[in-house]
Amino acid sequence: MATSTLDPDRTLADLVAQQPALAAVLDRLGLDFCCHGQRSLASACVTAGLDLDAVTAELDLPAGDTPTGWSGGERAALAGYVEDTHHRYLHAELPAVEQLAAKVRDVHGAHHPELRAVADLVGDIARALRPHLATEEDEVFPAIAGLGAGLGAGTELRGAIAVLVDEHARLGEQLGRLRRLTGDYRTPADGCASYRSLYQRLAALEADTHVHIHLENNVLFPAALAG
């Protein structure tokens, strides 16, 4: 077997920043690279009870198969990318998935009572995300984009970023609970097409949000704070 080229002492956040395609693999393995991305790969594997050699073998993707990652770069460009890509996705998806969760609950809730908790949690996530996204778009991202070259965030912006990071942590916990409630988004045998669609869309929302939080927590915000 070929020796892995991955350094197990690198952080999960750094691995994904340099090779974004690794995000999907880490998600599948249950290794949190967004809210807890500052752990080393080795430490994360120990905590999760995973074999480090097996994990590095899965993560050791050919360089040609992975797109170029963000590594700090131009702060305004990254803020714009996050808003145009991840925020736009959430603005479109949240109302639709809320409605679908309520529909599936109403149809299947008698036989699958967990769907009530799923619909409630989806609503909680959507209600928390709307003001969170607005704060980023209206206040924090413009402030980051306006920082001069070599200048880091001042006290007010630092405080706003700290609040956003705390909200990301709560969102990460909610997504983890959603995954547990849905049994890793597995549709039961009696699930209809709408049931399958809901779980597929929730899984996609979780994966996109993990990358979204990673780009903010581990790339954009540190670049703004460092100057």
pLDDT of residue 58: 84
- Dist. CA 126–CA 146, nearest whole Å: 29
pLDDT of residue 68: 41
- Dist. CA 48–CA 42, nearest whole Å: 10
pLDDT of residue 65: 38
| pTM (global) more than 0.85 | no
> Would you tell me how many other CB atoms lie within 10 Å of the CB of residue 127?
12
Asked whether 101 and 122 are in contact (CB, 8 A), the reply is yes
Q: Give the three-class secondary structure for 227.
A: coil
**Nearest 5 degrees, angle CA 117-CA 37-CA 56?**
105
| The two structure tokens encoding residue 63 | 């360089």
pLDDT of residue 72: 46
Residues β-bridged to residue 11: 40
Selection from 186, 180, 182, 203 nearest residue 115 by Cα: 182
pLDDT of residue 61: 63
For the chain, percent of residues with pLDDT exceeding 90: 70
The overall average pLDDT reported for the chain is 89
For the chain, percent of residues with pLDDT exceeding 70: 92
Judged against a pLDDT cut of 60, whether residue 36 lies above it is answered with yes
* 97 vs 149: which has the higher pLDDT: 97
Element (H, E) at 68: none
| DSSP-derived secondary structure letter, 72 | S
Judged against a pLDDT cut of 70, whether residue 69 lies above it is answered with no
Asked whether 178 and 202 are in contact (CB, 8 A), the reply is yes
- Dist. CA 116–CA 122, nearest whole Å: 10
Mean pLDDT for the stretch of residues 77-88: 94
- Dist. CA 108–CA 101, nearest whole Å: 10
Residue whose pair of structure tokens reads 């999960």 in the numeric block: 12
What's the number of CA atoms in the CB half-sphere (13 Å) around residue 132?
24
Least confident of 63-72, 115-124, 133-142: 63-72
Kindly indicate the confidence band of residue 60, based on its pLDDT and cuts at 50, 70 and 90.
Answer: confident
Q: What are the pLDDT digits (tens) for 93-114? A: 999 999 999 999 999 999 999 9
pLDDT of residue 66: 36
Q: What are the pLDDT digits (tens) for 186-210? A: 999 999 999 999 999 999 999 999 9
> Would you tell me how many other CB atoms lie within 10 Å of the CB of residue 129?
18
| DSSP-derived secondary structure letter, 111 | T
Spell out the domain ranges in the chain: 12-65, 75-226
Kindly indicate the confidence band of residue 63, based on its pLDDT and cuts at 50, 70 and 90.
Answer: very low
Element (H, E) at 56: helix 52-59
pLDDT of residue 4: 58
- Dist. CA 154–CA 177, nearest whole Å: 35
| The two structure tokens encoding residue 161 | 């970023």
Kindly indicate the confidence band of residue 67, based on its pLDDT and cuts at 50, 70 and 90.
Answer: very low
Mean pLDDT for the stretch of residues 9-35: 86
